[in-house]
């Protein structure tokens, strides 16, 4: 399996603290050593970094940890390969253009024998994750238009997520830079930090940060991860089948779809 990390904030915020915790799980405190990637939105542009090696020993990941890249929406992924070979083409997050925006997607789980129908979007690598992403993008392209409201998009995304989760494990993050859609098939957690801010300690590294010194009273920053990244904060655990659409650090739409008993 893999692990996910997403951020939604109401002001450009760096991900250094959470990203540091996640990368330790990529070959150090965790087994996810088959590649890593991160995407930071900057307006309508996306700044991405990918490697097909372990994040815990990556010099590029170390640069990202120490360089405060500011973004309101970010998506990260560390990979433990189960479908598809270990190579750069199979490294999440994946990106495609639709309606003049870059859409970025990362997946945790596995859908055995998933085959996407032919469509405008095609996979470059050989993972089930990228095939699912292309299938999802094809449905968005044919079913909605560029004027679709976030609520309409959420309805389609949650319905497709239900279909995928009925075929296997499907935890995902998806964004077009305006919002961040999250879906839990088996495991996902979130935390929203707002004033009054306090300190936090990473679970996977001896790193503590005092958010009060790094923020303003108006800041709202939400972190979504496969597993909680800190040991001294109270994280909100998603229910199976739960989805949330985040914007500016807050949940704007949410719901739960019914999934088969695990």
Which residues belong to the active site?
2
Total residue count of the chain as it appears in this document: 262
User: Around Cβ 188, how many Cβ atoms within 10 Å?
Assistant: 26
Tell me if 160 sits within 8 A of 153, measured CB to CB: no
Pairing of strands 168-175, 236-237: unpaired
Q: What single string gives the DSSP state of each residue in 101-142?
A: EEEEEEEEEEETT--PPP-S---SS--HHHHHHHHHHHHHHH
In the block, residue with structure tokens 């993008």? 137
């Amino acid at each position: 399996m893999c692990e996910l990390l997403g951020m939604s904030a109401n002001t450009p915020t760096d991900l250094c603290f959470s990203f540091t915790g996640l990368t330790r799980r990529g070959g150090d405190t965790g087994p996810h050593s088959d590649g890593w990637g991160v995407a930071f939105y900057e307006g309508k542009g996306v700044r991405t970094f990918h490697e097909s090696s372990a994040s815990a020993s990556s010099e590029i990941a170390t640069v990202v940890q120490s360089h405060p890249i500011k973004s309101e929406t970010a998506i990260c992924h560390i990979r433990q390969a189960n479908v598809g070979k270990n190579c750069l083409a199979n490294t999440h997050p994946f990106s495609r253009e639709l309606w003049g925006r870059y859409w970025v997607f990362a997946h945790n789980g596995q859908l055995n024998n998933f085959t996407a129908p032919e469509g405008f979007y095609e996979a470059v690598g050989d993972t089930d994750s990228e095939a699912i992403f292309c299938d999802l993008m094809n449905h968005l392209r044919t079913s909605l238009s560029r004027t679709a409201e976030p609520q309409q998009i959420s309805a389609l995304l949650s319905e497709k997520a239900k279909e995928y989760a009925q075929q296997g494990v499907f935890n995902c993050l998806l964004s077009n830079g305006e919002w961040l859609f999250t879906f839990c098939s088996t495991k996902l957690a979130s935390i929203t930090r707002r004033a009054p801010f306090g300190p936090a300690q990473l679970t996977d590294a001896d790193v503590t940060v005092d958010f009060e010194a790094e923020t303003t009273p108006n800041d709202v920053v939400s972190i979504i991860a496969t597993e909680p990244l800190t040991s001294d904060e109270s994280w909100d655990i998603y229910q199976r089948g739960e989805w949330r659409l985040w914007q500016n650090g807050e949940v704007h739409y949410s719901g739960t779809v019914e999934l088969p008993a695990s």
